[in-house]
């Protein structure tokens, strides 16, 4: 009886600690939003680079590797220049650290990078971003990409209610519903499209309320990832999952939850029409993940003014301002480990660099399987070595991309800013799972089978396009595909694939299929196409180091929200001084990756951990504000 009583007291005490910590953090963040900053960026103006300077004419994100460019002393090395890696590097730089970021591709930025082809610019992974909340803006300010550096254009216009998405379902995708910005507009549009549905307003209000409620789980889920020692974080997440997710938002699938609220089957399909934003079928996706997407875009969407590469450019300048460097065409072969501690990295060419902190931003599987040698792997705990089995870890979906160059302006071609999620033949009696499995099985073998696609016009989303590419426009068509259809060429280099007739034939087939989808929704573009090119899952592997062409890294299925996954997908690793960041650590998407940099920086700098709590250092942003580090970052643009 005494043991039971003691166990009860222990659980009650830990629960109280968890609840108190979460209450404090939420209160603290709300208070921070009222703060206004002073001009200037003087905290580290005496920091001087001791390396070969980058010529001002060189694109900031295309600084090619030379050993002479690397600073003589380093505080941290980041492997991979995706937004998570650049984000953590920028925060460390603002704290006075000298950071080296190494990127295998010829430009930094990961999925935010752009390229020019056929006379126009194309984005590779940034298609739209939900409204940026005040807390996120605070951390972007800390990274050096505040509103004075990075501007955002709202997607849409007053005429369409700032619609950011249109979902096309029904026979042939004929039933189309726009998603306008704002809760009231969103509900009003659905009421207009389903005028005869009884009690629909009450159902929709309950649905949005539940989505909002579910998203609040992220407040503790991601905060607990920085708790050290790890055993304490592991214990607290188990308590949080038990008490905090009483309604099972992380365990119940999206279809079941929506079915319990919304009676109309076709409307259920419409509400799930954005599942491509997280890549998990509604029958499998946790309702929490669905709600994250819904609420992220509920108040509208934005796009970086000047193109998505502006995000990486701002972060790189922030890193360089403190004497750091971001170098491309620098492939890292392995992390150097000595006595159980990371001490540096070795490049493919044999060059080695040392630093007390090393961060991997190349995904969990790449980190474990490509950066660590066999002797180091043998020292890792079983949950790391056998993560696929222990956590049932899965990779995310793969896609083909059709890049289209168009003759004519946005207005001349009547191009919308909103995206189209096309789910042809998903009906009240046909589920997404049934339709998607059919598409993957048939692939190119059945010419009558239409793919599921995402269609966007980046040129219509930001205000500088017409001055950068006058008289021209662009389009992007994405289709979820089966990676196995491209596996026969996975072992080949890009240049060799370009010469392979069979590979070029499958690309041509997808080009034809996706071109038809573009004309189905936008027939006015026939005769206006200047050029087209296709990117496959193997292209994603080449440029973004995704082995199976996975566009979101690890899948955001229910397994991601289990203790087994939490124990591994966190910033700290079993190797001292070695950390992880990126989509696999926090969440998918640009903002998920960016916030992973925040979480990893907290862990590296020991904020939010027991010693920092004892000394009053609760939050990295709060501490930086008090020290005067967080100020508008105009100097980083010099």
Mean confidence (pLDDT) of the chain: 89
Tokens 């704002």, residue? 182
pLDDT at 41: 24
Q: What is the DSSP letter of 361?
A: -
Q: Phi first, then psi: give them for residue 123, nearest 5 degrees.
A: -90, 155
> Which has the higher per-residue pLDDT, 431 or 609?
431
Among 23, 52, 155, 7, residue whose Cα is nearest residue 463 = 155
Measure the CA–CA gap between 260 and 225, rounded to whole angstroms.
32
Q: What pLDDT digit, counting tens, does each position of 480-502 carry?
A: 999 999 999 999 999 999 999 99
Taking domain 35-149+305-380+574-629, whether its CATH number is 3.50.50.60 is answered by yes
**pLDDT at position 24:** 44
Q: Quick one: average pLDDT of 145-169?
A: 95
Helix axes 183-193, 200-215, angle to 10 degrees: 140
Helix (H) / strand (E) element for 533: namely strand 529-535
pLDDT band at 459 (very low <50, low <70, confident <90, very high): very high
Percent share of the chain, pLDDT over 90: 77
Q: Decide: helix, strand or coil at residue 86.
A: helix
Residue 295 has pLDDT above 60, yes or no: yes
pLDDT the model gives residue 246: 82
Q: Provide the pLDDT for residue 228.
A: 86
Question: How far is Cα of residue 284 from the mean position of the Cα atoms in its chain?
Answer: 20
Quickly state the pLDDT bin for 230 (edges 50, 70, 90): confident
In this predicted structure, the answer to whether residue 44 has a pLDDT above a threshold of 80 is no
Task: Output the six-digit token pair for 426.
Answer: 């998903």
Q: Using DSSP, how many helices (H) and how many strands (E) does the chain show? A: 25, 20
pLDDT score of 421 = 99
Other C-beta atoms closer than 10 Å to the C-beta of 376 total 20
Sign of the four-CA dihedral 44, 330, 334, 351: negative
Contacts of 55 (CB under 8 A, 6+ apart): none
Lowest-confidence pick of 54-58, 264-268, 482-486, 561-565: 54-58
pLDDT digits (tens, 9 = 90+) for 323-375: 999 999 999 999 999 999 999 999 999 999 999 999 999 999 999 999 999 99
What pLDDT, on a 0 to 100 scale, did the predictor assign at position 630? Answer: 58
In 3-state terms the chain splits into helix, strand, coil percentages (rounded to 5) of: 45, 15, 40
187 has pLDDT over 70: yes
Q: How far is CA 193 from the centre of its chain?
A: 32
Q: Is the pLDDT of residue 619 over 80?
A: no
* 406-437 residue pLDDT tens: 999 999 999 999 999 999 999 999 999 999 98
pLDDT band at 197 (very low <50, low <70, confident <90, very high): very high
Considering the entire predicted model, what is its pTM? 0.90
Which residue carries 């006379």 as its tokens?
Answer: 119
Q: Nearest-CA neighbor of 85 among 289, 298, 383, 324? A: 324
Per-residue confidence (pLDDT) for residue 227, from 0 to 100: 86
The predicted model gives 256-264 an average pLDDT of 98
């Amino acid at each position: 009886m005494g043991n039971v009583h003691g166990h009860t007291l222990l659980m009650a005490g830990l629960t109280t600690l968890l609840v108190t910590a979460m209450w404090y953090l939420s209160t603290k963040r709300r208070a921070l939003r009222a703060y206004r900053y002073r001009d200037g960026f003087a905290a580290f103006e005496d920091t001087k680079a001791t390396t070969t300077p980058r010529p001002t004419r060189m694109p900031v994100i295309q600084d090619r590797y030379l050993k002479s460019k690397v600073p003589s002393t380093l505080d941290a090395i980041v492997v991979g220049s995706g937004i998570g890696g650049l984000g953590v590097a920028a925060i460390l730089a603002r704290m006075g650290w000298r950071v080296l970021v190494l990127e295998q591709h010829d430009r930094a930025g990961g999925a935010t990078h752009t390229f020019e082809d056929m006379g126009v610019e194309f984005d590779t992974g940034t298609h739209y971003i939900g409204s940026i909340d005040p807390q996120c803006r605070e951390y972007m300010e800390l990274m050096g990409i505040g509103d004075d550096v990075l501007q955002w254009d709202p997607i849409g216009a007053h005429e369409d209610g700032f619609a950011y998405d249109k979902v096309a379902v029904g026979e042939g995708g004929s039933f189309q519903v726009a998603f306008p910005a704002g809760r009231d507009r969103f509900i009003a549009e659905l009421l207009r499209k389903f005028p005869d549905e009884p009690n629909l307003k009450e159902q929709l209000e309950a649905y949005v309320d539940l989505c909002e409620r579910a998203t609040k789980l992220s407040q503790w889920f991601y905060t607990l990832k920085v708790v050290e020692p790890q055993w304490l974080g592991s214990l607290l997440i188990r308590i949080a999952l038990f008490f905090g997710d009483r309604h099972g938002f992380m365990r119940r699938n999206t279809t079941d939850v929506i079915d319990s609220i919304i009676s109309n089957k076709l409307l259920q399909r419409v509400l799930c029409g954005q599942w491509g934003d997280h890549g998990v079928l509604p029958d499998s996706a946790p309702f929490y993940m669905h709600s994250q997407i819904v609420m992220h875009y509920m108040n509208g969407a934005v796009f970086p003014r000047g193109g998505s590469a502006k995000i990486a450019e701002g972060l790189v300048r922030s890193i360089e301002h403190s004497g750091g460097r971001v170098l491309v065409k620098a492939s890292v072969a392995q992390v150097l480990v000595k006595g159980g501690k990371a001490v540096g990295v070795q490049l493919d060419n044999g060059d080695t660099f040392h630093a007390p902190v090393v961060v991997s931003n190349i995904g969990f599987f790449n980190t474990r399987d490509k950066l660590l040698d066999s002797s180091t792997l043998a020292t890792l705990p079983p949950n790391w070595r056998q993560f696929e089995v222990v956590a049932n870890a899965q990779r995310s979906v793969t896609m083909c991309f059709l890049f289209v160059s168009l003759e004519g302006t946005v207005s001349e071609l009547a191009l919308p800013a909103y995206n189209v999620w096309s789910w042809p033949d998903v009906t009240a009696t046909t589920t997404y799972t049934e339709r998607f499995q059919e598409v993957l099985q048939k692939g190119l073998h059945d010419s009558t089978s239409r793919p599921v696609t995402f269609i966007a016009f980046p040129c219509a989303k930001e205000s500088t396009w017409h001055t950068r590419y006058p008289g021209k426009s662009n389009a992007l068509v994405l289709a979820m595909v089966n990676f196995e259809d491209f596996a026969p060429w996975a072992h080949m280099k890009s240049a060799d694939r370009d010469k392979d007739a069979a590979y070029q034939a499958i690309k041509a087939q997808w080009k034809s299929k996706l071109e038809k989808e573009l004309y189905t929704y936008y027939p006015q573009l026939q005769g206006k196409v200047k050029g087209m090119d296709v990117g496959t899952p193997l292209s994603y592997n080449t440029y973004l180091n995704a082995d199976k062409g996975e566009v979101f890294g690890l899948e955001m299925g229910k397994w991601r929200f289990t203790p087994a996954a939490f124990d591994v997908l966190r910033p700290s690793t079993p190797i001292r001084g070695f950390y992880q960041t990126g989509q696999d650590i926090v969440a998918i998407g640009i903002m998920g990756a960016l916030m992973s940099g925040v979480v990893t920086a907290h862990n590296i700098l020991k904020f939010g951990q027991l010693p920092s709590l004892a000394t009053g250092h609760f939050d990295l942003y709060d501490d930086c504000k008090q020290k005067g580090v967080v100020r508008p970052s105009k100097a980083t643009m010099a």
